[in-house]
Chains A and B, each alone.
Chain A
Amino acid sequence: MKNIWIVATNTFREAVRDRVLYNLVFFALLMMGAAIVVGQISIGIEQTVIVSLGLAAISVIGLFIAVFIGVGLVSKEMDKRTLYALLAKPLKRWEFLLGKYAGLVMTLAVNTAAMAVGLYAALWTVKQPLVESDAYVFVAVYLILLKLALIVALAMLFSCFTTPFLAILFTGGMYVAGVFAYDLRTIQGINLSATIVKLVRGISYLLPNFQNFNVTGAVAHGRGVPGSLVWHVTVYTVVYCAVVLAGASAVFARRNLK
């Protein structure tokens, strides 16, 4: 366990020095710009626009970091051979994998938290005072973080057995498929046989349902999110990530490094 922590802290240090967190500056500027522009539009929907825009930006920026850096976590080490000396240490391969994962998730957590603060600042400029229901924005950000954690796990899984380019493609594809998983579940049989419809429905349960993490619709209108939903989605993420990372560990354990 300690080994995982050692690798994780180093990964975090790498992300910081890699200037990954500079996106926060970009985000802050975006939010400030949005706040100014929104003030010019109509009164009454500023909250909706800022929250929707802010959450979307956090989600998209986080997505890019999760996919590109997530894939690079393992690929870069294999390509650049930095991994060789490391694996000669008393460190198991799966400990290495989990450590890299934890490091990136920590980075993303810091990132999204900082962006959430930025979002609040923007919200505060258009709406004072902030009320209790505005705290739900944090819940939305937390769910986005869960989503990113799942995407990083998928990125790592794919990067363990294909080239970085394909891994990015597969992860992106999985993301798109996952976004539409809910729709696939209720697919109407347009020229499709009943068995295919059943099969598609079944698969839709096992795909990562990314809509689970999306509560923008409620939060942007100041509506709340039930605690039980948050709890269930958290458990869902933990279980799903465990499955994916177990798969990644299994693949990586026997991978020949050139």
Chain B
Amino acid sequence: MSDQAAVAGWAERRLTGAHLLVANVALLGGILTGLLQGLEHAGFEFPASEYFLRSYYHSVSMHGVLNVLVWTTFFICGFLPFIAARGYGMPLASPRLGWITFWVMALGLVAAAVPLVGNAATVMFTFYAPLQAHWAFYIGLTLVVVGTWLVTWRLALSQRRWRAQNPGARTPLPAFMALVTMAMWTLASVGLAASMLFLLIPWSLGLVSGTDPLLARTLFWLTGHPIVYFWLLPAYLSWYTLVPRQAGGRLFSDPMARGSFILFLVLSSPLGLHHQVTDPGIHEGWKLFQAFLTFAVFFPSLLTFFNVVASLESAGRARGGTGVFAWFARLPWGDPSVAAQLLAMLMFCAGGIGGLINASYNMNLIVHNTTYVVGHFHTTVGTAVTLTYMGISYWLIPHLCGRVLWSRRMALAQSWLWFVGMLIFSTALHELGLRGMPRRTMISQAAYLQPGWSGLMPWVGVGGTLLFISGCLYLLNLLLTATVSRRAEVPAPAFAEAAAPAEEAPALLGRIRPWVVVAVVMLVVAYGPTLTRLVVTSQLNVPGLRVW
């Protein structure tokens, strides 16, 4: 694996580092707002002020955008090209394109951040029309999406270069996964792009006087569900190709890993309607159809579960573990990068099952827009994804900076604190949701506050505080690593070898283009009739409002 060290040279490292810097600054804003919101739910008055956060809802809008749009997207766009270069064993095509991409995304971020921070875009990260943000918010977010397309383009150029140099060989698994993730996202993001370009941007600029809220919302969710796989697949990439080796074992099956990623490519997009189960104007037959596809996408998640656990078992047994489950304790829990990601996986077991409940068509009537959903996505994007990215950062930042991690013990404590904090936080929110508490609401001030909620509400604040402390420890550790820690060349972990190698897979599992075609067909079948009807009957007659 010596060739891996040679590539991803300083050019790629600096590029990745720039993305990670932006991601972590966003996370700082995300956890700070999160703390205040958690305390609000515990009964403390929200500290609104005209200098920083104007209202609870200003805070929630910042929290959502910074965490799930900026932290995730910038981390992914830094991490995946880095991994792809190491997977190919060659530098990626055009570092210049890489930097153009970064600056397009950074420019977009600044354009969106100015109105967001200035309370001119207090529309949540879902920006449902006819709530109308400043036009710079929509244009900025669109530029960030365009930036992600450029990442896809650069990976595709690199794949072509690698293919020319290695005719007939299987694409290395890490590069394959990076490319599939970006291909899936690029296809899925057409909904968001269409909504921005044809509806929201002209409307916010005043070029048209009205918009169609249901059409905008449907286009948003066409992208809004697959975006969770855009966050999740890079975490899976780490669980499949890095963690087994970090833990001292092998990947169980390369073909099965490829197969699951291809299924994610095909099945991630045609199921966003399960976020709109309670919407009028969309026929329940199509809601049921997409609920069915949501269950189908559970299949590659179960394959991932099996493959990753089997890989970890090989590691646990190689380290002297025995028994049916006891080997799990033998995994290298003292390594913060591994421990963080193992805890992320544990939390994801609960998150995955909760997700099925949300998507279960008529069961959604009980949980939709309640804090149950908030509890759910804090176990998934808030832990399975975020804690995995943190675990990756614990080797990636030292590697990029050429300095050892400042404190392993602090990193371990941070990981456990996140896990325990989230357990408290999300359990309380799940239960409050089942007791009828709506989400995205300044609940301590609600006109309909219920006595049955009061016993649980303090726990939201307790969990949120633990998460805030954990997040601060994480950022402090990285900051000290990057500035004052001992200088040393820290190698990035090598990729795991597979017990069942790529060559055992059918050739079709090594290709991407045919599966992109299948994904497009699936998208057209699942969304075509509904979108066609919504477009044909659309009336652009709802004016924008700023009611915050």
Answer yes or no: do A and B interact: no
